[in-house]
Structure 1
């Protein structure tokens, strides 16, 4: 039986089963637990031990290659040579903070802001996505005078104290903040009618309840692809009515782009752009630097005006020169290697292949995706559309044994979370689809 802490992490390793692993793996797990403590979790029933990486591949100590169909942080691929070179060159030249003048942060900021709508004109830097969300909350509350935050039912936005309080997916042992309200996101697979109106109505109801309790709305926070709510990609545009409701109530719209951002959806640089909206604040995470400690927010200048005038902000090594060099290289690689176009081409190919599998396996209720962010949802019955998290996790772990790495999403873990690095090619997609077919056939 899984421990309570493990039970609240989808696709988590149960340390009580370590005895069936090799002596070397048992030793590593025991040392890890002793040194890092019990809060650190591992993926998969059989944890993966990796020692090096390249492109879309990870390698274990024996040299076995694992196809990475999951990790979005190395957005342009593991150990991309241009990113490695940029980091190495800058580390050998200067690594310093933002209180000295330096051109590289200005050049990168200009290039980054050029990917956003014209209304968004300022950028602030942090080291992690959690810090970025934390900063966005501070600015929202300071500028609006409100304290209420609305998030979706299984959202994950980070792990500082303030941000864990708006992350329901952390489980019941991490309480939500007293002024945090939760709404269900709309599901194209289950909900009927106008999904935009449905979500906007739920947000409006939450705001009315807030007001009834003397709470003023500060912000609505959403990941535009609902990465932990089950990867909800359709229909594009359903967030338009919600942003209007939020603004009418005096709140701000915070778009969490840690997972869907930097071209992952293919058609747009940022997930919110698929919905035709302009958020007040946009949050980015470590895909910005391919895993280097750099993240940040972009925002409308009028949103920052009061906070910026009254509050001194400084993040000691947020946007340090080495991390900025990595971020610049990532942005350049996405453009130069046409990785957004690749996300559309390969993502479409993968969705088509997964839908062919859906025609053959009744356990697959739905297939959906945007660029290289894809979902396959399992159900116990296609008529009732009841969640089947057990089958989903069996597929995840069976693929791991074939050295294919993905994970799961949704409140019950019934959705395969398929999110490879952006250079993923048709050849790798075929490897994944073939292995997925074999696993589904074996589970039938």
Structure 2
């Protein structure tokens, strides 16, 4: 613990205050492989949290692709290079008709920032809608969509936040009424933006509402909203940073599972298996409007090393059957979660290898208890997080190589952790 205390002190001194760490007793991680991480003392932890290492920590094929390309060439896209074109062809083949062009960035925040500007360029308007319990990144523009902390000077008037779908307190009073109630709130927000002379440029959302806690919606949920947005002339901006690349098992993209075709799709974290690479996929008319209006260039976006990493990720997903693994292991793990018994457990739900365990006490979100479970799991050498409006939903989002044996280890630790806290 002495070294950990020293690192915590150095972080505060060199990085400034309020730099977050996970867990009351932070973990000093020194290496990783597959679904596992090791700390400085050699203790192994099961990683049930990190979707960044999509193909598993330090996957040898991705490491080799990065190393080989870095030893050959790395530069920006103002020179001709096959790497970005090879990757674009491989990636775009995974999308439905019309989503035909790619712009590459370094982070999901940048990708979402670009998506907002694409909608502005395509519509000539500047108003946006997001849910009131979402997160889409760290740039000034996308941070305005989040309700985590108010910006200096207050919330900008060209952003509207509508109530997010919720499993404990569904919009409209029932799960069946929630889709129409969500759309009705969107309609109100569009009217407000038009009345304020901002106009309606677009709606940004995650297709599985990941940061909202995956609130148990089903395919078709967004149909009334999609129809409304189309009639209003806005764009649908789909943030696939968390559900994309086969994580949900049944489909490669969350929007395909939900059953709609967006105008713009943003990608990030898992795209390079830890290498910083992200992107925006758009319809040609939308891309052309953006390029004309903004003349965008990103020095590191689409560089040869990033493209090599990203292409290797696509190949590993295919070669190792990771989407199928997500479907199989996810279903196995979900069954195990549903069999857990504790008064705090309100619901277990999941899509592939993105699962949630919602905790409630007397019908109210149990955020403090969820925090306790996360700490208990860390003490049992399993790393996971929590999400939801009250941070009351245990979030399980492991690398895609997560196995049934890993699931058994997680379930045993969860059972012990629940037994360690009061009912």
Normalised-by-shorter TM-score class: over 0.9
Paired position in structure 2 for 1:378: 359
How far did residue 310 of structure 1 move? 4.1
1:180-237 superposed Cα distances (whole Å, 9 cap, x missing partner): 1111122345421233212111111111222232220111000111121112242122
| Aligned 8 A contact 2:106 2:276 in 1 | yes
3-state DSSP of counterpart to 1:427: helix
User: 1:3-152 maps to which residues of 2 (within 5 A)?
Assistant: 22-152=1-131
User: 1:251-400 maps to which residues of 2 (within 5 A)?
Assistant: 251-357=234-340, 360-381=341-362, 385-400=363-378
Give the alignment's TM-score, normalised by structure 2: 0.96
Structure 2 distance, partners of 1:389, 1:171, is: 19
| Aligned 8 A contact 2:126 2:158 in 1 | yes
The question of 1:186 aligning with 2:141 is answered no
Structure 2 distance, partners of 1:254, 1:159, is: 17
Structure 2 distance, partners of 1:59, 1:218, is: 46
3-state DSSP of counterpart to 2:361: coil
The question of 1:217 aligning with 2:197 is answered no
How far did residue 102 of structure 1 move? 1.2
Structure 2 distance, partners of 1:414, 1:155, is: 15
| Aligned 8 A contact 1:218 1:251 in 2 | yes
| Aligned 8 A contact 1:166 1:177 in 2 | no
3-state DSSP of counterpart to 1:413: coil
3-state DSSP of counterpart to 2:29: coil
Structure 2 distance, partners of 1:316, 1:254, is: 24
1:106-162 superposed Cα distances (whole Å, 9 cap, x missing partner): 111011001111110110010111111111111111221111110011110000111
Paired position in structure 2 for 1:415: 393
3-state DSSP of counterpart to 1:51: strand
User: 1:152-231 maps to which residues of 2 (within 5 A)?
Assistant: 152-168=131-147, 170-172=148-150, 175-191=154-170, 192=174, 193-231=176-214
| Aligned 8 A contact 1:188 1:195 in 2 | no
3-state DSSP of counterpart to 1:443: coil
Structure 2 distance, partners of 1:157, 1:40, is: 19
| Aligned 8 A contact 1:130 1:158 in 2 | yes
Structure 2 distance, partners of 1:132, 1:412, is: 27
3-state DSSP of counterpart to 1:29: helix
| Aligned 8 A contact 2:166 2:212 in 1 | no
| Aligned 8 A contact 1:188 1:235 in 2 | no
RMSD: 1.3
| Aligned 8 A contact 1:166 1:176 in 2 | no
Paired position in structure 1 for 2:232: 249
- Count, aligned residues: 417
3-state DSSP of counterpart to 2:66: helix
| Aligned 8 A contact 1:262 1:270 in 2 | yes
How far did residue 421 of structure 1 move? 0.5
Structure 2 distance, partners of 1:443, 1:353, is: 20
| Aligned 8 A contact 2:55 2:399 in 1 | yes
Paired position in structure 1 for 2:215: 232
The question of 1:433 aligning with 2:411 is answered yes
Structure 2 distance, partners of 1:233, 1:34, is: 43
Structure 2 distance, partners of 1:371, 1:233, is: 13
3-state DSSP of counterpart to 2:364: coil
How far did residue 240 of structure 1 move? 1.8
